[in-house]
Amino acid sequence: MLLYIIDGFNLVHKLTSVKTSETPQYGLIQYIKKSKLTGSARNNVIIIYDGGCPDNFPPEREFKIIFSDKKLADDLIKQKIYAIKNLNKFPISEVIVVSDDREIRDYAIKHGAVSLRTLDFLKIKKEDKRANEKEDKDISYPLQREITEELRRIWLKE
């Protein structure tokens, strides 16, 4: 199980469709879920946004959403990383921090977390999806049957 800590507005600004939506913060959550950017539904996701919570922001159950209000989102991200490492509630090596802020990325790496730029985060997921689609197309049905029969002969000694 992984924990993603996402610098919300860094990612919002990379996605035009999300950036121009009525509530970009909520649009990003929906985009992440629809695109399955964080992999398994068992993975934990924390999205941290600068500023206050918009009036029309719906409740969220799957992801933890934090609005920094008068604090900086960057400071809250650092606090989360520090707390995770020092409270040992979650293996720091399974924490992935997604941000374009170099200071945040360096801080994450220094404390043992994985760090990704937002475009790298989006690119990796798109490449994974393309690789899976290509794999599905490489093996035709007759070839699948032939492999199955050969394995049956080998394993079941038929």
Domain that holds residue 47: 3-119
Asked if the structure places residue 69 within a domain, the reply is yes
- Does residue 143 lie within any of the structural domains? no
Long-range contacts of 100-108 (CB under 8 A, 24+ apart): 100/7, 100/10, 101/7, 101/10, 101/74, 103/74, 104/7, 104/74, 104/77, 104/78, 107/78, 107/81, 108/5, 108/81
pTM for the full predicted model: 0.76
Residue 131 lies in a domain: no
Q: Hey, what's the torsion of the CAs at 13, 22, 6, 83, to 10 degrees?
A: 130
Asked, for residue 73, whether it belongs to a domain, the answer is yes
Residue 157 located in a structural domain: no
Predicted confidence (pLDDT) per residue in 82-112, tens digit: 999 888 777 888 999 999 999 999 999 999 9
CATH number where 84 lies: 3.40.50
Q: How many domains does the chain fold into?
A: 1
Q: Within a domain: residue 56?
A: yes
* Residue 137 in domain: no
CA–CA distance, 34 with 143 (Å, rounded to integer): 32
| Residues whose CB is less than 8 angstroms from the CB of residue 7 and which lie 6 or more positions away in sequence, other chains included | 48, 73, 74, 77, 97, 98, 99, 100, 101, 104, 118
The residue-averaged pLDDT of 116-138 equals 65
Bridge partners (DSSP) of residue 6 are: 47, 98
pLDDT recorded at residue 124: 66
Report yes or no on 63 lying in a domain: yes
